[in-house]
Structure 1
Amino acid sequence: MTALLDRPAPTAAGGLSLRRGAARVLLGNWTGAGTVPSRTLYPHQWSWDSAFIAIGLRHLSPRRAQRELESLFAAQWGDGRVPHIVFNPSVPDGAYFPSPDFWRTSTAGARAGAPRERETSGIVQPPVHALAAWLTHRADPRESRRRGFLPRLYPRLVAWHDYLLTSRDLGGGGLTAVVHPWEPGMDNSPCWDTALARVTPADPAGFRRADLDHGHPADRPTDLDYGRYVQLALDYRDAGYDDRAARHRFALEDPCVNALLIAGEHALAEIAAYLGEDAAPHRARADRTTEALVDRLWDAEAGLFLARDLADDTLVRERSVAGLVPLLTPGLPGPVVDRLVATLDGPGFHAGPTALVPSYDLTGRAFDRTRYWRGPAWFNTAWLIERGLRTHGRHRHADRVRTAILETAGATGFAEYVDPTTGEGRGARAFSWTAALTLDLLAAEEAPREAQR
């Protein structure tokens, strides 16, 4: 690890090496088994954070990247779901809400197979894990084989995807659905406003928001939205986390979640072939899900994919970054790719000074440049779009996004997210997935140079 840190790299603010700074973030947020997103705001292990973190950690320590994913999947439920939070028992309950005593998964989730020995949340997050596992293996195949990394993780990844495409196909159209705004990872996106309006918020006297201890209220979801999040989680808990028994007042098919599921199926095909298993079922499922994604969520007029609200089976007419992430999907029709790139270049998502992609349409009715997922630009979605652009050979566009990520990450101290109009860092600093994805892009940037030498 030391040798890697000492290699020359671009410089960040303050003269520190960008690579060295990113590595220090990940080392500082490591807990011994996994990595917290932030030492202050997020003191436990988060699901899709750990996947992104593993993608960056593999450039520092492939073994530690493997452990990152293994520790997360050690808390997988019997029904296949991977919980969005795995709680650290050494952290006091009051340090984060909702805490284990709110979720009560070891008892309320018993019939769904929640682990008895680990406390987790009862909802999920986007499935970046199969892609992360395959990339982690490729970073050091010899160490991966020695530890039996893929043979142990592969059946767990398959069970995870099976859960999403069976228990969570609530619309019956071949896509997975989310049942809480925290599940797609874009908590307070304007895409959820109409669906959330159907939910009576929980009594604010019944809980205390720990996030406001470390985040500015102007950056965070409103109290009204937060009360609705709490009520939805209570309803799901009271239904025993049973997807078929629960009365879902919030159920949507999200384009980002489903695009990541497709990318994950392609990764599972690679893993299966490597292990001598049949890769054809994964490729077939990726193709079927791609067809369903285009059929159910593509909107040519909007120029991107839209979420579908299953309450009335209609598309949500809000344009968010989630609708651009399907660029990751290799089987998209050419005209759809062309239209997505045009949207990325248009006034709604081309932010100018930062070149990072805002989380919501800059010209949209609900745009807010500082409030969480209602406008700010995030590094993980930019990384996904950069990878998607390369998938379709749009390298000039991808280079622009990559440069923006590297410059902005270093200038903001690896911020959680940024104001898309100014590049000012917002939210937490020393944020793990920002650091991890910076390392990944630095490694990709240097690979051609190494080849030339």
Structure 2
Amino acid sequence: MSDDIKLDRHDDARAILARNDRGGYTVPTDRLYPFQWNWDSAFVAMGFATFDIDRAYRELERLIEGQWEDGMIPHIVFHAPSDTYFPGADVWGTRHRIPTSGITQPPVFGMALRFIHDAAVAAGRQDALERTRPLFAAALRSHRWWMKARDPERRGLVAILHPWESGSDNSPAWDEALARVPTTTTTQIRRKDTGHVDAAMRPRDVDYQRFIHLVDTYRDCGWNPEKQWASAPFKVADVQMTGILARATADLIRLAAVLGAQDEVAELSEMHRLLTEGLGRRWRDSLRRFVSLDLVSGEDIEAPTQAGFIPLVAVTLDGQQRAAVAAEIARWCDGMVVSLPSTAPFSPAFEPKRYWRGPVWAVINWLMADGLRANAMNELAGSLERGTVWAIEQAGFCEYFDPTTGEGLGGNTFSWTAAAYLVLSRRVTDG
């Protein structure tokens, strides 16, 4: 592909971020997701940092407007009303000063903050410390919330109480645990997503019934973390979530040192030790990846999904483990037009077009590449990055991609796909 076409795609990516800008925060895509989403915005902020550092900082500043007093950063901040999404603020019934959802999402925030700070320093910005400091404080409060509210038994693994918190809403990893959740609800379900996207690409209706049952349950708890933990019918110690939290904690350690916050360096270092040790115990030689833990049944979750590789962003594998991961990833990629599928193609649960049951996601490949590079698996990381850039250049800035065909799926003009392109295409060009 010529340099001119590549330049056009960069312009297109920046135009998508501008199109989805709603005044200092970015919606994932128009109508389908009309509010500010937590981990979407963290990735988007890193995309902005490649060309507009002020706007990158502003994305995170707008996100923490929704941060709760206890430190939780919700998964949705309803800055402005919209009737194109369900469940809206009325269903969540939270009592924050700004309407928000009552659950959270993967804590990419700390990773994004370091990325932006480093970009600001590299650009010679004199205000880098001033802009970073309050955001660091917010991130630290969030990490403290995670450790207190979602790992009260100090396993070194943080739990999700709703599949939406994982970011991988309808992943096969949750099938058994979610099947125990009743389908009864006290909320009328008025799905809007299937009016924007083919229902064959979205979670099933029965999944939504269980999703909303969980919302009802936690709303009845008054969104109190202790009550939610005690009453949760769905409770999973998630290795993807824990891996991202551990990596973000390492990034906060670096920022704390730069900010001269030595007490916080010590606190975060202990947090990081606990999380990485917890992750280390979740490695399974026989599966050649990490596994989550169903805290209700006490059983390993062995469904082969992308979550099993995400801990690479935080842990250091030994030589035998690196060889095992490389072999397992090769097995998943065999015969695929675009990799890495979010569910292994040899799994009976694999659906190449349905949301988190098979499609390729640019931001997951971004995390995967980071983890592979951190473990000196640079060739494999580069292959994933090149494949992701190729898929976007061929199919456009879609929400996700069919691994068997490369077809773009879900929402279009998607913000975090544009952000991933801006970051990963730079690596491909530089590499």
TM-score bin, normalised by smaller chain = over 0.9
Equivalent position of 1:17 in the other structure: 8
For 1:446 and 1:70, the matched residues in 2 are separated by: 31
Query: Could you say which residue in structure 2 is the equivalent of 1:121?
Result: 101
Deviation at 1:185, TM superposition (A): 0.3
- Residue 166 of structure 1, CA deviation: 1.2
Deviations 1:165-221 (A, max 9, x none): 111115541211000000000000011111111111135981210111101110000
Q: Equivalent residue for 1:112?
A: none
2:256 is equivalent to residue 276 of structure 1? no
Amino acid at match of 1:306: V
SS in structure 2 at match of 1:218: helix
Q: Does 1:67 align with 2:51?
A: no
Partners of 1:58 and 1:361 in 2: CA distance: 33
- Aligned AA (1:148): E
Alignment equivalent of 1:45, drawn from 27, 31, 36: 36
Q: 1:332 to 1:265 in 2, by over 3 A?
A: farther
Show the 5 A alignment for 1:47-446: 47-89=38-80, 91-92=81-82, 94-106=83-95, 115-116=96-97, 118-141=98-121, 142-143=124-125, 145=127, 148-170=130-152, 172-203=154-185, 206-246=188-228, 247-278=231-262, 279-295=265-281, 297-346=282-331, 349-446=332-429
Paired with 1:241 and 1:123, the residues of 2 have a C-alpha distance of 9
Q: CA deviation at 1:40?
A: 2.4
Give distance in 2, aligned partners of 1:195 and 1:330.
Answer: 26
8 Å CA contact retained: 1:171, 1:177: no
Measure, in 2, the Cα distance between the counterparts of 1:379 and 1:225.
Answer: 24
Question: Aligned with 2:225: secondary structure?
Answer: coil
Q: 1:96, 1:210 within 8 Å by CA — same for their partners in 2?
A: yes
Whichever residue aligns with residue 403 of structure 1, its letter is R
- CA distance in 2 between counterparts of 1:423 and 1:393 reads 28
Letter in 1 for 2:196: H
Secondary structure at 2:163's aligned position in 1? coil
**CA distance 1:244–1:410, change in 2 (3 Å):** same
CA RMSD of aligned residues (A): 1.7
- Paired with 1:439 and 1:128, the residues of 2 have a C-alpha distance of 17
CA drift at 1:152: 0.8
Secondary structure at the counterpart of residue 418 of structure 2: helix
Distance 1:214 1:124 in 2: 24
Distance 1:174 1:326 in 2: 13
Q: Report the count of equivalent residues.
A: 424
Q: What secondary structure sits across from 2:51 in the alignment? A: coil
Q: Work out whether residues 63 and 77 of structure 2, in 8 Å CA contact, stay in contact via their aligned partners in 1.
A: yes
What is the CA–CA distance in structure 2 between the aligned matches of 1:382 and 1:404, rounded to whole Å?
Answer: 9
Runs of 5+ consecutive residues of structure 1 not aligned to the other structure: 1-7, 107-114, 449-453
User: Scaled by the length of structure 1, what TM-score is found?
Assistant: 0.90
Large movers: runs of 4+ above 4 Å? none
Distance 1:10 1:343 in 2: 37
Which moves more between the two structures, 278-287 or 241-250?
Answer: 278-287
Please identify, of 381-390 and 176-185, the stretch whose mean Cα deviation from structure 2 is larger: 381-390
Change (3 A) 1:241 1:425: same
Percent identical: 36
Q: 1:144 to 1:366 in 2, by over 3 A?
A: farther
Deviation at 1:351, TM superposition (A): 4.8
Give the residue type in structure 2 aligned to 1:131: M
How far apart are residue 74 of structure 1 and its match?
1.5
1:337 Cα offset (Å): 2.9
1:259 partner letter: G
* TM-score for the superposition, normalised by structure 2: 0.94
Distance of aligned partners of 1:207 and 1:388 in 2 relative to their CA distance in 1, 3 Å threshold:
same
- Deviations along 1:269-321, one digit per CA (max 9) or x if unpaired, are 110011011223323321221111111x2211111111110002210120100
For residues 310-355 of structure 1, what are the alpha-carbon distances to aligned partners after superposition, in whole Å with 9 as ceiling and x for unaligned? Answer: 0022101201001111111243444333322221111xx2153434
* In structure 1, C-alpha distance between the alignment counterparts of 2:373 and 2:5, rounded to whole Å: 25
Contact 1:83 1:125 in 2 (8 A): yes
Q: Distance in 2 between matches of 1:428 and 1:74?
A: 26
Asked if 2 retains the 8 angstrom alpha-carbon contact of 1:327 and 1:340, the reply is no
